[in-house]
């Protein structure tokens, strides 16, 4: 059952760039209604028919499980050896979202059909890959339908390991301005590429420095230049150049201090922040950590808590005072790649894990 469910979810294009989650959200809505449940649509963008699907538990509900419906785009299908909209081969389900994170959603849905626990709120939300807008919309219900939520579990590919938090991400653009001139007389101009090149080298050295900043769960801090742009022609001294920088922040770092460091590092060049996601951490003594550890122990799995090196919706959830973890089968290394996959064994194991959690959890 779970394999067929996962294949169905993957067959629906829900790429984040086009905001096409409506079709897969409607499938899940119908599936939950067929189980005899009462799913609710919470619209994010009515014009594009984008909506979150929620199933509310009883008044005693204190755990929310959420999984995002959107995926990154397939990009060039020629880079895929397998059908990006679902193909089973070699003991694996291939397709965009199979790993991140429709396979895990299928595991949860299959578990809900076996055992529905009214002590939970179940959330299937849009808009995670570009912004955290989908879960932000859900958390608007914090003072009403979600007022008793104190714990959460966010579905992501974690290779079946408990992640008690995630790194933060500060993404920003550095802009260098100069003055154009003919390349045969560069002394009459001011080369913006030279300026941005110097900033790039400073970021490289800065990364070596912050590698020494560590956390027992999350490893070390990092900084990386991901995009560089500048110039219009080889015979023109460029008056504009830019880089995009990604800074991964640990929970034990001061984010205000990090932002100040970044600005000072590239000064006097302009900086423009693209995205800010704060690091987050859940105490290892939290009920959600302990309960999931017991579930994994009973299944003879690694039940140690780790830190998620990527970012996730847990950052937004923790900002509302909710203690949460990130969890799912499938491997993060498979996410966002051509021929993305989840193994059929991981689908089976994920269903066992979530079924065990649903049967165990009490408000």
Q: What is the CATH number of the domain that holds 124?
A: 3.40.630.10
On whether both 162 and 178 belong to a single domain, the answer is no
pLDDT at position 178 over 80 = yes
pLDDT at position 239 over 80 = yes
- SS3 of 356, please? helix
- SS3 of 273, please? strand
Determine the pLDDT at residue 59.
75
Determine the pLDDT at residue 210.
97
On whether both 177 and 194 belong to a single domain, the answer is yes
pLDDT at position 363 over 90 = no
| Average pLDDT of the residues in 79-108 | 97
On whether both 255 and 307 belong to a single domain, the answer is no
User: Going along the chain, which residue ranges are E strands?
Assistant: 40-45, 50-55, 63-68, 87-89, 92-94, 120-125, 151-155, 162-166, 168-177, 181-182, 214-215, 219-220, 222-230, 236-237, 240-249, 270-277, 280-281, 305-308, 323-327, 341-343
On whether both 145 and 285 belong to a single domain, the answer is yes
Q: For 325, what's the count of Cα atoms within 13 Å in the CB-facing half-sphere?
A: 26
Average pLDDT, the chain: 96
Determine the pLDDT at residue 33.
98
Task: Report which of 152, 150, 122 is spatially closest to residue 60, judged by C-alpha positions.
Answer: 150
Beta bridge partners of 214: 220
pLDDT at position 60 over 90 = no
Determine the pLDDT at residue 3.
97
On whether both 140 and 205 belong to a single domain, the answer is no
On whether both 212 and 248 belong to a single domain, the answer is yes
On whether both 46 and 6 belong to a single domain, the answer is yes
- SS3 of 321, please? coil
| Whole-number CA gyration radius for the chain | 23
- Residue at which a domain ends, from 277, 309, 331: 277
On whether both 194 and 263 belong to a single domain, the answer is yes
On whether both 272 and 293 belong to a single domain, the answer is no
On whether both 140 and 37 belong to a single domain, the answer is yes
Determine the pLDDT at residue 176.
98
Determine the pLDDT at residue 75.
87
Q: What is the CATH number of the domain that holds 218?
A: 3.30.70.360
b/e per residue 189-213 (b: at least 16 CB within 10 A): bbbbbebbbebbeebeebbeebeee
pLDDT band of residue 47 (cuts 50, 70, 90) is confident
| Average pLDDT of the residues in 148-167 | 97
Range(s) of the domain holding residue 334:
2-166+280-360
Determine the pLDDT at residue 51.
97
- Residue at which a domain ends, from 277, 299, 324: 277
On whether both 26 and 142 belong to a single domain, the answer is yes
Distance CA 165, CA 254 (A): 16
How many structural domains are present in the chain?
A: 2
């Amino acid at each position: 059952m779970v394999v067929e469910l996962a294949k169905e979810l993957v067959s629906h294009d829900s790429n984040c760039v086009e905001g096409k989650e409506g079709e897969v959200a409607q499938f899940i809505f119908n599936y939950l209604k067929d189980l005899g449940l009462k799913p609710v649509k919470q619209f994010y963008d009515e014009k594009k028919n984008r909506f979150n699907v929620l199933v509310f538990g009883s008044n005693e509900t204190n755990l929310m499980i959420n999984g995002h419906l959107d995926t990154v785009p397939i990009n060039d299908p020629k880079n895929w050896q397998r059908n990006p909209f679902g193909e089973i081969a070699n003991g694996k389900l291939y397709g965009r979202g199979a790993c991140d994170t429709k396979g895990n959603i299928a595991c949860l849905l299959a578990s809900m059909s076996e055992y529905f626990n009214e002590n939970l709120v179940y959330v299937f939300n849009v808009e995670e890959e570009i912004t955290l807008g989908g879960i932000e919309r859900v958390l608007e219900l914090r003072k009403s339908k979600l007022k008793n939520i104190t714990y959460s579990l966010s579905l992501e590919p974690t290779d079946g390991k408990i992640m008690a938090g995630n790194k933060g991400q500060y993404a920003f653009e550095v802009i260098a301005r100069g003055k154009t001139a003919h390349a045969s007389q560069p002394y009459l101009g001011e080369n913006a590429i030279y300026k941005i090149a110097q900033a790039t080298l400073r970021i490289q050295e800065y990364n070596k420095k912050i590698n020494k900043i560590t956390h027992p769960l999350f490893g070390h801090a990092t900084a990386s230049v991901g995009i560089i742009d500048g110039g219009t022609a080889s015979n023109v001294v460029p008056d504009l150049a830019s880089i995009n920088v990604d800074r991964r922040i640990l929970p034990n770092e001061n984010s205000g201090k990090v932002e100040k460091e970044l600005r000072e590092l590239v000064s006097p060049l302009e900086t423009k922040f693209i995205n800010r996601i704060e690091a987050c951490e859940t105490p290892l003594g939290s009920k959600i950590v302990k309960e999931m550890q017991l579930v994994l122990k009973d299944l003879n799995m690694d039940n140690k808590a780790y830190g998620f090196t990527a970012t996730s919706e847990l950052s937004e959830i923790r900002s509302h005072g909710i203690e949460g973890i990130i969890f799912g089968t499938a491997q993060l290394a498979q996410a966002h790649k051509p021929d993305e996959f989840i193994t059929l064994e991981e689908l089976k194991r994920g269903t066992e894990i979530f079924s065990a959690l649903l049967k165990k959890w009490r408000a």
